[in-house]
Amino acid sequence: MRQIVYRENAVMEQHRCESSCIADWVIHECPKCDYQLWENVLTKEIKVLNAKENISHSGFYAPEEYYKSTNNLN
**Taking a C-beta distance cutoff of 8 angstroms, is the pair 28, 44 a contact?**
no
Tell me what pLDDT residue 62 has. Answer: 81
pLDDT of 52 above 60: yes
pLDDT of 9 above 60: yes
Query: What percentage of the chain has pLDDT greater than the value 90?
Result: 58
pLDDT of 69 above 80: no
How far, in Å, CA of 54 to CA of 48, rounded?
15
- DSSP-based three-state secondary structure for 1: coil
